[in-house]
Structure 1
Amino acid sequence: MLDKRKFYIDGQWVDPLKPNDLEVLNPATEKPIAVISMGTAADIDRAVAAARKAFASYSRTSVEERLALLEKLLTIYKRRYDEMARTITMELGAPITMSTEQQADVGIGHLQGFIDALKRAHLREVLPNGDVLLREPIGVCGLITPWNWPINQIALKVVPALATGSTCVLKPSEFTPLNALLYAEMVHEAGFPAGTFNLVNGDGQNAGAALSKHKDVDMMSFTGSTRAGIAVSKDAADTVKRVTLELGGKSPTIVFADADLDDRVSGSISECFNNSGQSCDAPTRMLVERSVYDKVLEIAERVGKQAAVGNPEEQGAHIGPLVSHIQFSRVQALIEAGVAEGARLLIGGPGKPQGFETGYFVKPTIFADVDNSMHIAREEVFGPVLVIIPFDTEKEAIAIANDTPYGLAAYVQTGNPERAERVAARLRAGMVHINGGPHRYGSPFGGYKQSGNGREGGIFGLEDFLEVKTIHRPDAA
């Protein structure tokens, strides 16, 4: 078992001030693979003090100096790429093929996206009225990241902080801390000055809250549940620090009769089940035009039955386990709620797949004849669970799609380009994917309503880590 009980503070690996061990479990085997320390407010104080001290000099570095450090980090990450993929598979349970092709890849894609954005960023410009506008690093940033796409969110927070000249303290999820510790090793090797990047493990109630409340933290960037995001906002309010949030979703995919049904229904199910359904922007509500509803159900049942569950250590397109017993229990409860509320099971249902008594595996599940008022249509399940809802008109489809407290992503499947644009414009979501269009590195990621505020990635992701200053000069003689 790996001993990973040290924190990374002020350029060094240090012991926690008060020992408090936690075992990290492999979700496929339920066996411990590492032991970490759970940080306290005192550990957060030490990390914030290091970041505050480093900010005085790091904030004055040039763009060229910071770009050189980021380029070196990119080179190191590429060298240790396979190690990152294996680590994520071990602690998250993502199948190794998925970890290699998706989970680890984001560490390169987002880093390159921020490098490109920093090169074209206008940190000083003259306004049409003659005033000078400066964009300056915001200060010490508290970063709290989730377990479901761990290095994705770490890169989307750590990189823009360091790219803009800010300093940071990272608290990763205690369920998947090993990839974060590996990333800290890469940052150290890249040569970022001591104190610019710090890492303290711990839970949200203690280490996370201490970071959000800290008077010397200028900004909080949080990704996780809407409930936890509200807590971060409340904790940060007393010091009026900036807070950016990337929270939950219940994303609709609208399937019109003129879509390529075999392709788009199959693709939507694969996207819903990807990462064992543990993605905030997963298309978990499939809204289907009634004239093709029965045909779509036939396709969905056939495709769903082909979705295999398997050992995450083995290559392939199968589904791995959920991350923890907590997550497994929550998903089981919502599947049971769907059955109790009268939704019709096409595939799957409660319980574990046959042959997977050990590990947090769930059956890929599809519900038909769902009403948008049901719990499974309104709550973020965060497992491989799809609900299918019929509609009659374009207007009704838009109304159902928007009838949610969330607004992260939406998906439109249609053979009519004009309809695609028209519907996309009326959907209250931060990102709309048309006919399988992917999210690309460098584009903003984020949502409306209770899906959060702020945007991550590319030039928009840099802006949240910058303050705007206006210099008013006297008129020229």
Structure 2
Amino acid sequence: MREYLKFYIDGKWVDPVAPRTLDVENPATEQVCGRIAIGDPADVDHAVQAARTAFETWSQSTRAERLDLLAAIAAEYQRRAADLAEAITEEMGAPAALAAGPQVKMGLGHLVTSMDVLKNFQFEEQHRSTLVVREPIGVCGLITPWNWPINQIACKVFPALATGCTMVLKPSEVAPFSAQIFTEIIDAGGVPAGVYNMVYGDGPGVGSALSGHPDIDMVSFTGSTRAGIDVARNAAPTVKRVTQELGGKSPNIVLDDDDFANSVAAGVRAMMLNSGQSCNAPSRMLVPAKRKDEAAAIAAEVAGQIVVGDPDNKQAIGPVASKVQFDKIQGLIQRGIDEGATLVCGGTGRPDGLGTGYFVKPTVFADVTNDMTIARQEIFGPVLCILGYQDLEQAVEIANDTEYGLAGYVSGADLEKARSVARRIRAGSVAINHGFDLTAPFGGYKRSGNGREWGQFAFDEYLETKAALGYG
């Protein structure tokens, strides 16, 4: 039973201003596995003031000083990797292989990438007689979700540290254990007092206080589009910078070529990763209409081989993170059935043999049309929709017919054709044959947010641009 009842403020573990706790549930067992303290605006104010004071010195730190700190954190991160993985499995249900693999390793990847970018990043540039300077924006409020808890913390914290910003982190109260260990890592790495602060809490109590605080210069939020709108509204009166990485309903256009079977299978596996709880999951698979039945058969076979609930099986998927998510997903699966989509495999209810835990059957729908609820709403579970297209013109039209624009996918053997289609998808990132690049910009078009994370593109979000005219 974990108990994390203090916040990390000004280089110390401190008690909340008004003690209040929240139980944390293990989604695999439906049992309480820990308690955390829950903050309020007074705790946020305490943390923000510590960050504001620390900004005066950290913003003037040298490149070498920041690199030394990041290197010390990297060493401690690797030492505590197993602790992070264990916490992620317990708090949000990621099977051991996923937790110790992508979940933890993505965090280290963002750390190493930030160090690499920092080594050569140009903070000053001469334009004729004007010196253009990139300066840290100030105190940053970082609000992160539960689905990739360390990845989302790392891709915000490390660029902020590298650019000379100070920060207050509000991790998800649904999956807070890994944030505690991450904070212990930061502390052991020697971060100066006040540069990094962490306050547990919910959206109304801590998230709103952060986004509306007059001494916060920038808010970086990852979560639902609904919550992202609230963050932007709270931030508007103080005209602070707001970056958002929000929801998605990403299309995966499968080309009609000899690699069709492999492309469909890869799309199913990518959709089911992390129990479908990824904002960029390829949840709408677009296939040639004449091959819909073939695609459905392949998808059913692949999804049927996925083990649910076995943490030792590398193909396993764990539970979804909470009862709220489980109930939402069940309702949307039933909605798909009611609206006439063909249930190829999966469906409502828990998988056989799993009477406890928020486990969802890997589910595939065929004969989906783009006006159905399951094609419009982000389900955030292991549910794949297969839609048909007559030609690539229609495929692109369907792909772009969504309020979201976080990601897109094109799968097939014809690389030139895939490249051409990828250019036409209105999304922040488009992966050809599920390509991956930790240094590529990550963020969305339309209601999927604004701003970019990852690599050098993340640095831009944490910097202001100053022109010193007549400099020489």
Task: State if a TM-score over 0.5 links the two structures.
Answer: yes
Q: Distance in 2 between matches of 1:94 and 1:346?
A: 25
Q: How many correspondences in the alignment?
A: 472
- The reply to whether residue 326 of structure 1 matches residue 331 of structure 2 is no
Listed one character per residue, the Cα deviations across residues 112-145 of structure 1 (whole Å, up to 9, x for unaligned) are 1111111121001101x33111000000000000
- The reply to whether residue 145 of structure 1 matches residue 135 of structure 2 is no
Listed one character per residue, the Cα deviations across residues 317-360 of structure 1 (whole Å, up to 9, x for unaligned) are 21100000001011011101101101010001111111111111
Q: Distance in 2 between matches of 1:417 and 1:356?
A: 42
- The reply to whether residue 386 of structure 1 matches residue 384 of structure 2 is yes
Partner of residue 366, structure 2: 368
Please, what is the CA RMSD of the aligned residues?
1.0
CA contact (8 A) 2:66 2:162 kept: yes
- The reply to whether residue 377 of structure 1 matches residue 375 of structure 2 is yes
CA contact (8 A) 2:270 2:281 kept: yes
CA contact (8 A) 1:257 1:291 kept: no
Opposite residue 90 of structure 2, the aligned amino acid is M
CA contact (8 A) 2:20 2:38 kept: yes
Partner of residue 269, structure 1: 268
Q: Distance in 2 between matches of 1:266 and 1:364?
A: 14
Q: Distance in 2 between matches of 1:363 and 1:327?
A: 14
Opposite residue 463 of structure 2, the aligned amino acid is L
- The reply to whether residue 118 of structure 1 matches residue 118 of structure 2 is yes
**Partner of 1:287: helix, strand, or coil?**
strand
**Partner of 1:238: helix, strand, or coil?**
helix
CA contact (8 A) 1:98 1:317 kept: no
Q: Distance in 2 between matches of 1:2 and 1:390?
A: 48
Partner of residue 455, structure 1: 452
**Partner of 2:321: helix, strand, or coil?**
coil
**Partner of 1:151: helix, strand, or coil?**
helix
Residue correspondence of structure 1 range 421-436 to structure 2 within 5 A = 421-436=419-434
**Partner of 2:13: helix, strand, or coil?**
strand
Listed one character per residue, the Cα deviations across residues 451-476 of structure 1 (whole Å, up to 9, x for unaligned) are 110110111001100000001016x6
- The reply to whether residue 105 of structure 1 matches residue 105 of structure 2 is yes
**Partner of 1:470: helix, strand, or coil?**
strand
Q: Distance in 2 between matches of 1:22 and 1:159?
A: 28
Listed one character per residue, the Cα deviations across residues 383-419 of structure 1 (whole Å, up to 9, x for unaligned) are 0000000000110000000000000111111222221
Partner of residue 401, structure 2: 403
- The reply to whether residue 41 of structure 1 matches residue 41 of structure 2 is yes
Q: Distance in 2 between matches of 1:197 and 1:228?
A: 24
Q: Distance in 2 between matches of 1:336 and 1:306?
A: 23
Partner of residue 19, structure 1: 19
Listed one character per residue, the Cα deviations across residues 75-110 of structure 1 (whole Å, up to 9, x for unaligned) are 110111111111101111000001111100011101
Q: Distance in 2 between matches of 1:343 and 1:241?
A: 44
Listed one character per residue, the Cα deviations across residues 134-187 of structure 1 (whole Å, up to 9, x for unaligned) are 000000000000000000010011111111111000000000111011011011
Q: Distance in 1 between matches of 2:300 and 2:183?
A: 44
Cα deviation, residue 205, structure 1: 1.0
Q: Distance in 1 between matches of 2:173 and 2:72?
A: 28
Opposite residue 271 of structure 1, the aligned amino acid is A
Q: Distance in 2 between matches of 1:454 and 1:187?
A: 25
Opposite residue 443 of structure 1, the aligned amino acid is A
Q: Distance in 2 between matches of 1:414 and 1:188?
A: 47
Cα deviation, residue 259, structure 1: 4.8
**Partner of 1:372: helix, strand, or coil?**
coil
CA contact (8 A) 1:110 1:441 kept: yes
Partner of residue 445, structure 1: 442
Partner of residue 201, structure 2: 202
Query: Cα–Cα, structure 1 residues 113 and 340, in superposed 2: closer, same or farther, change >3 Å?
Result: same
Residue correspondence of structure 1 range 97-246 to structure 2 within 5 A = 97-127=97-127, 129-246=128-245
Q: Which 4+ stretches in 1 moved above 4 angstroms?
A: none
Give identity over the alignment, percent.
Answer: 52
Opposite residue 160 of structure 1, the aligned amino acid is P
Query: Structure 2 unaligned runs (5+)?
Result: none
Partner of residue 467, structure 2: 470
Q: Distance in 1 between matches of 2:260 and 2:394?
A: 20
Query: Cα–Cα, structure 1 residues 351 and 71, in superposed 2: closer, same or farther, change >3 Å?
Result: same
Q: Distance in 2 between matches of 1:413 and 1:445?
A: 20
Give the alignment's TM-score, normalised by structure 2: 0.99
Query: Structure 1 unaligned runs (5+)?
Result: none
**Partner of 1:249: helix, strand, or coil?**
coil
Cα deviation, residue 3, structure 1: 1.4
Cα deviation, residue 315, structure 1: 4.3
- The reply to whether residue 252 of structure 1 matches residue 256 of structure 2 is no
Q: Distance in 2 between matches of 1:101 and 1:180?
A: 17
Give the alignment's TM-score, normalised by structure 1: 0.98
CA contact (8 A) 1:20 1:39 kept: yes
Listed one character per residue, the Cα deviations across residues 10-44 of structure 1 (whole Å, up to 9, x for unaligned) are 00001111111111111000111111011000000
Residue correspondence of structure 1 range 55-66 to structure 2 within 5 A = 55-66=55-66
Opposite residue 351 of structure 2, the aligned amino acid is P
Q: Distance in 2 between matches of 1:133 and 1:9?
A: 34
CA contact (8 A) 2:247 2:447 kept: yes
Opposite residue 330 of structure 1, the aligned amino acid is K
Q: Distance in 1 between matches of 2:363 and 2:318?
A: 14
